[in-house]
Amino acid sequence: MSRLFGSVRARATLGATLVVAVALVVAGTAVLLSLRSNLIGEADTQAERAARAVASELVARTPYGDLSGLDGEDRPVQVVDEDGRLVAASEDLERITGTATADVTPRSPEPDEDDEDFGDDADDSGDSPAPGEIDDGTAFTNGSATIDGDTEDYRFAVLEVETSDRGRLTVYAGAPLAAEHSAVSTTLTGMLIGLPVLLGVVAGVTWLVTGRALRPVEGIRSEMAAITASEDLARRVPEPATHDEIARLARTTNETLAALEASVERQRRFVADASHELRSPIASLRTQLEVAAAHPELLDLDGAVEDTVRLQRLAADLLLLARLDAGERPADARVDLAALAREEAAGRTGVTVDAEPAEVTGSWGQLGRVLANLLDNGGRHARERVTVTVRREGGWAVLEVADDGDGVAGADRERIFQRFVRLDAARSRDDGGAGLGLAIARDVAVRHGGTLTADAAPTGGALFELRLPLAR
């Protein structure tokens, strides 16, 4: 059960069914109440019409026995005087409730008492209807009556009338509620039968529609499970030919898979290139040590030291790249690029610095590594001079390193920032390095919220521009 309702399809079906059920119950209740109100209103109209017909005859001094409203077989009528005595009633009336008296047999008042009562009422009429008039207001009550052995519920109209010969009388006339009961019962029965059927249809349609809508999701899930099991990142999930959220989910999933595949491929190339780069100095150092072990007099100490230093630098570069790839955040220290440029340029031949103070937020060590790599690159390619400039542009600090060498071709100005890329294939590894300096420099710049680009210098050489946001 928990697995069943753990699916989106089941929850959507249950939710839609519950919403429709609540809506149908509310709508059905409103229909029943409206139907009952309309039918009761119709019964009120019939009962009031019958009561006013009897009242009109009373005003016209029609004797009780000649009242035409008393001979209806299905309309109970009572006429009660002001003392609460029943003076007239419908024929065959056997029992009645909901009126002023439960009597069904009329009791005629004494004439003297009638005259006396009438005189008193004439003196105390006040707000009561004038003699020979029917009250404008009609009250209604619910009750039941048995006529000729048949018992039914009735809606009684209560109407007062002032007569000139019999004083104040109250007429009770009933209209049957059988039609109201029958209509409400029939409607309720239809709702009770139709509601489950309709809810079943809603649940079935929702189940089918939701299953059809979620079918691509199952395809995406199964394909992702297959990709996870096979570790084949070249595979892609199916994209439905729709323009809804599921299609966007599939496209985003494929974009994520493509980015993941590219990242894994870069990692593989990085490991392969790193292994290749490490193999050379390690092999050279091992050879020298083996020769020295066999022939100590042939030991090339300077070459061993150079290979060791190169191996140390390469290991440091690889370690820094690994930290950057792992998402290491730079420090929040304030770094003055002008002071950093002067410090890195000190002791380097042919390097000039033209810098104004420009503080940024970051790591002094990592930014120093960027500038050192740029100066090393410029020093290898410059003919005579490398120039470092630092300036402020709006909210940015701009550091430029320019040389007067041959420059970088336009097609290679992005490729040189890739790892293990060396444009001069004829250059020896000792002079050219492993091709990691510019890659490290750009990664550090990006981690500091900035950019590093290559362009042509005014002197014809290469120009590297580092842009970092100024410290607040």
Instruction: For 208-225, give the DSSP string.
Output: HHHHHHHHHHHHHHHHHH
Half-sphere exposure of 108 (CA within 13 A, CB side): 6
Q: Does the structure show a pLDDT above 90 at 399?
A: yes
Q: Are residues 21 and 75 in the same domain?
A: yes
- Where does residue 338 rank: exposed (0-12), middle (13-18), buried (19+ CB within 10 A)? buried
Residues 106 and 6 in one domain: yes
Full residue range of the structural domain in which residue 117 is found? 1-231
CATH of the domain at 260: 1.10.287.130
The pTM of the full predicted model, rounded to 2 decimals, is 0.51
Question: Is there a single domain that holds both residue 57 and residue 205?
Answer: yes
Residues 295 and 356 in one domain: no
Q: In terms of domains, do 304 and 216 share one? A: no
In a domain, 362, yes or no: yes
How many structural domains comprise the chain? 3
Domain assignment of residue 45, yes or no: yes
* pLDDT tens for each residue of 210-227: 888 888 888 888 888 998
Q: Does residue 379 sit in the same domain as residue 308?
A: no
In terms of DSSP bridges, do strands 386-393 and 351-355 run parallel, antiparallel, or are they unpaired?
parallel
Q: Are residues 423 and 452 in the same domain?
A: yes
Per the domain annotation, does 237 fall within a domain? no
Last residue of a domain, one of 324, 350, 375: 324
Alpha-carbon 8 to chain mean position: 15
State which of 165, 196, 231 marks the end of a domain.
231
Work out the number of other CB atoms within 10 angstroms of the CB of residue 137.
8
Tell me which residue of 41, 24, 22, 20 sits closest to 183, measured CA to CA: 41
Residue 425 has pLDDT above 60, yes or no: no
If asked whether residues 253 and 222 sit together in one domain, one would say no
Q: Which residues, in sequence order, are CB contacts of 403 under 8 Å at separation 6+?
A: 378, 379, 381, 382, 383, 385, 386, 387, 457, 459, 461, 462
Instruction: Give the C-alpha separation, 452 to 450, whole Å.
Output: 7
What was the pLDDT predicted at 26? 93
Please indicate, yes or no, if residue 238 is contained in any of the structural domains.
no
300 and 400, same structural domain? no
The amino acid occupying position 147 is I
Q: Where are the alpha helices (DSSP H) in 65-177?
A: 111-123
Is the same domain home to 465 and 427? yes
Residue 427 counted as domain residue: yes
Structure confidence at residue 112 (pLDDT): 44
Could you tell me if 178 and 213 lie in one domain? yes
Instruction: Provide the pLDDT for residue 147.
Output: 87
- CA 316 – CA 318 distance, rounded (Å): 5
Domain boundary among 165, 199, 231: 231
Residue 283 lies inside a defined structural domain of this protein? yes
CA end-to-end distance (rounded Å), the chain:
58
Whether 399 is covered by a domain: the verdict is yes
Give the pLDDT confidence score for residue 272 in this predicted structure: 75
Q: At what angle do helices 364-381 and 437-447 cross, to 10 degrees?
A: 150
Q: Return the pLDDT at 113.
A: 43
Closest CA to 383 of 350, 353, 405: 405
The answer on pLDDT for 333 being more than 80 is yes
